[in-house]
Amino acid sequence: MTLKPVLAALDDDAAPLTHHQLRELYTLMAAVRHLDTAAVAWQRQGIIPGYAPELGQEAAQVGSGYAVDRARDFVFPTYREMGVARAMGVDMVGYMSTHKATWHGGMYNPLESRFAPIQAVVAGSVLHAVGWAHGQTLAGAQETGVAVTYFGDGASSQGDVHEAMNFASVMKAPVVFFIQNNGWAISVPTERQVAGGSVAARAAGYGIPSLQVDGNDVVAVFEATRSALAHCRSGNGPVVIEAMTYRRGPHSTADDPGRYRTLDEERLGAGEDPLERFKQRLLADGVADEAFIAEAQRKAAEEEETIRAGIADLGPRPGAEMFSLVFQEPTPALQSQATAWREESEHA
């Protein structure tokens, strides 16, 4: 069951992106590219201990994140959705605090930002998203919020994903399953771990409409996500989107992609750079000129420096925070430990 015919009526009233919005999308993609590249360098410099790059996935992340209604929807990310966070206006110093290991889940406010804490458990965010979405159904709110859960082609093979899709379909939970198929589950190519080669095709088994979209086309991703959100918001249940893209860099800063693919294979699989592709489209359509492109790049570099300074200024969090933020009802032993910790800190 494909998404396009199912959502044809909803798409009729969808306004095309304005020139201002198209330029804003490019500005966001440029900012994400600069920050992503810088974060890898920061790890090499010892500023942060680890990072999961998203080079080549800017269009998939910015396009989908830009479509989210931050007044009512809620996004459930993995550890690689920095571009979604930036598109949604999440405080990036707070976001990057997780990669600095300053605090688990980030120091931003999930309720205000509508961006859940970063999830490092593979496919863990899927279960959280379906639970939140089902809560929207039970609440019977007039302005239904939609959960958007991100995961990759590798995570799609986890049993949790199949259970979540089945539950969401049966309960008509308003959730968008957004798969970024970047071609690799760490070192394993998609064709070796996704039967049939398409994650979106699995949705039919659960009676869920799905769409496979060009994940390197930011406008196509935005339009697909907007349509999926409208479908869910109308009480029609979940939607699966598979954005076909490519992970141009390593799985993480601890990974060496040269061990499982050659540079020639990487160049062939990556195709056209999504940022350069969108730039050429804006120039050809007269939506932007070279001066705008240069200014967007300048602002991206300036923003990256500001975020770097903010990360460098982050000090260690008080260890006693774990007693108030991690444990809802601390055990007597933990309460005693917390008291001893506080007393020791006061006399230090």
Query: Which residues carry out catalysis?
Result: 247, 251, 260
How far from 314 is each of 53, 61, 248, CA to CA, in Å?
Answer: 21, 27, 30
Question: Which three-class secondary structure string do you get for 93-144?
Answer: HHHHCCCCCCCCCCCCCHHHHCECCCCCCCCHHHHHHHHHHHHHHHHCCCCC
Give the DSSP per-residue string, 169-180: HHHT--EEEEEE
Please give the Cα distance from 145 to 316 (Å, whole number).
36
The token pair that represents 184 in the structure block:
């690799």
Measured distance CA(158)–CA(15) in Å, rounded: 37
As a whole number of angstroms, the distance between CA 49 and CA 97 comes to 11
